[in-house]
Structure 1
Amino acid sequence: MRRSFYQYILTQRGHNFYDPVEAFAGAVAKDIMFPKYSEDYHEITDYLELSVDYLNSMDLFDQVWESYLENNK
């Protein structure tokens, strides 16, 4: 079953906020405006680049996106 990026990133949450992926996942979980149903790379990157300050580098997003694609086949 395909799932949105939001549904995937929530599975990456944890309590280790020194881990950048877990910290990113925790921030996304708290973001009520995040595009929760999107599977579209461009929609999500536009949102992250223009609307949030909790992601220091889009490289981290790209890494998580690749993992999302691998796990969402």
Structure 2
Amino acid sequence: MRQSFYQFLMTQRNPEDYEPVAEFANNAFYDQAFPKQETRFDTLSKYLEENASYLPSMTVFDEAWQMYLEQD
């Protein structure tokens, strides 16, 4: 079974790294409402567009999503 996007994203956390995906992961960690079990792009994209003021651009999510897909 594929891990959730959130589980993958947490592997990218690094409080001392200022790369966009690492910052996204660091901020998502503190987002209590993040859909932690989600594996679908559309659901995650909609959530982030509507709720993630900490995400400066959806291209950061797109980059992280591509990394998520390539991990297997």
The number of aligned residues is: 72
Over the matched positions of the two proteins, sequence identity in percent amounts to: 43
**Separation in 2 of the partners of 1:66 and 1:21?**
11
CA RMSD of superposed structures (Å): 1.1
TM-score (norm 2): 0.93
Equivalent AA in structure 2 for residue 9 of structure 1: L
TM-score (norm 1): 0.91
- Give 1:17 shift: 4.2
Equivalent AA in structure 1 for residue 69 of structure 2: L
2:2 counterpart residue number? 2
Answer whether contact 2:21 2:63 (CA < 8 A) is retained: no
Find out whether 1:14 has 2:14 as its counterpart. Answer: yes
Answer whether contact 2:21 2:64 (CA < 8 A) is retained: yes
| 16-25 or 35-44: bigger deviation | 16-25
Runs of 5+ unmatched residues, structure 1? none
Give structure 1 regions of 4+ aligned residues with deviation exceeding 4 angstroms.
Answer: none
